[in-house]
Amino acid sequence: MKSYNREDLSVKDRISSTMFGSMVLFWVVICLLFFLVRTRRPKNFPPGPQPLPIFGNLLQLCLENPMRDLERLRLRYGNVFSLFFGSRPAVILNGTKAIREALVTKASDFAGRPDELLLSHLTQGKGVIMANYGPSWRDHRRFALMTLRNFGLGKQSMEDRILSEVEHVAAELEESNGKPINPKLLFHNASCDIICSIMYGCALRVQPPLLPSHDQDDGCMLQDRNGPGGDGGFDVIYDTIPLLRGLPSALQETMSNITSRGIVAEHRASRIPKQPRDVIDNYLDQMDKMEEGSVFDEEQMLATLLDLLFAGTDTTSNTICFAVFLPDDPP
């Protein structure tokens, strides 16, 4: 039997560690090359600074206030240039001429939505906000505008609902009696109640049909989504590292809780056809009119309802908060 002394064993250990280090270095180089190739500009893409692997052009921008950096890049590359946020390309437009050409002259070419994988996978491209431009988007946008107007949105008939909610807001402010209060949550809930009275036939204060926790800050889940503690950072990781896409996130859990509610089943059982009480009844009537295989189905309805709820709630509550916190004499 052959024996090994300590020197032989130490040499073998050094060889093994060297081989392991070489393998690690090899895979690091492969990954860097992968990200470098991935962030290369496509053919006929607008010019811009050379992106770095993994980071893109993020290190060349002041993330707190990138306006000066963007102005510097405009002077160098022109009114239309490109940047990479990580591996995601973006085109920056400057000046009214370039913006008008994109948004007016060639509006249909630029009518799509950002391809954000997290929300796209959660909504499956359905609804209105994150749906891509096409027949389904046009039909649902037309349906949403017509239905909301029929139920009083933007009309004087909404005044009673708004005044009723104002009374509840005033009562909560009086009840606080000088104690600290979260105005963002207060105005968010008030806006949500008005929107829900149109969409679901009741206010969340009376019967919470969708939001899992109306009295908690979770009700503002999408307001803080891009904040430091929200899922905004998770979006970048989700897009960049495919292996992490199966992991749950706060947004995924919230969306799952919302879409699992049985409010649609309740409306099916209690509605009278052609006598809609709210947006859900109107959508069910629309489904009855359409043939099988149309763009109006239950999955599209759930996605559209969530879009209307979040869009109507966040925009209104954020505007009210801005008005409340705006100083009387701005500097």
The CA–CA distances, whole Å, from 239 to 86, 119, 121, 212 equal: 10, 11, 11, 27
Best mean pLDDT range from 50-54, 160-164, 245-249, 290-294: 160-164
Annotated domain spans of the chain: 6-116, 122-325
- pLDDT per residue as tens digits for the range 207-240: 444 444 444 443 444 444 444 344 445 566 666 5
Q: Could you give the 3-state DSSP secondary structure of residue 249? A: coil
With b meaning 16 or more CB within 10 Å and e meaning fewer, what string describes 84-105? bebbbbeebbbeeeeeebeeee
Query: Shortest CA distance to 199 belongs to which of 156, 150, 247, 238?
Result: 150
Q: Could you give the 3-state DSSP secondary structure of residue 71? A: helix
In this structure, the chain runs to a length of 331
pTM (global) more than 0.85: no
- pLDDT per residue as tens digits for the range 280-307: 899 999 998 887 768 888 888 888 888 8
The answer to whether residues 49 and 60 touch, using CB atoms and an 8 Å cutoff, is yes
Alpha carbons 145 and 245: distance in angstroms, whole number: 34
Instruction: Specify the pLDDT at position 242.
Output: 59
User: What residues have CB less than 8 Å from 89, skipping those under 6 apart?
Assistant: 41, 42, 45, 82, 83
Residue position matching structure tokens 């809930």: 189
Q: What is the CATH number of domain 122-325?
A: 1.10.630.10
- pLDDT per residue as tens digits for the range 12-64: 566 666 777 777 777 777 766 666 555 667 788 899 998 887 778 888 888 78
Count Cβ atoms below 10 Å from residue 288 Cβ, excluding itself. 10
Tokens of 226: 């891009």
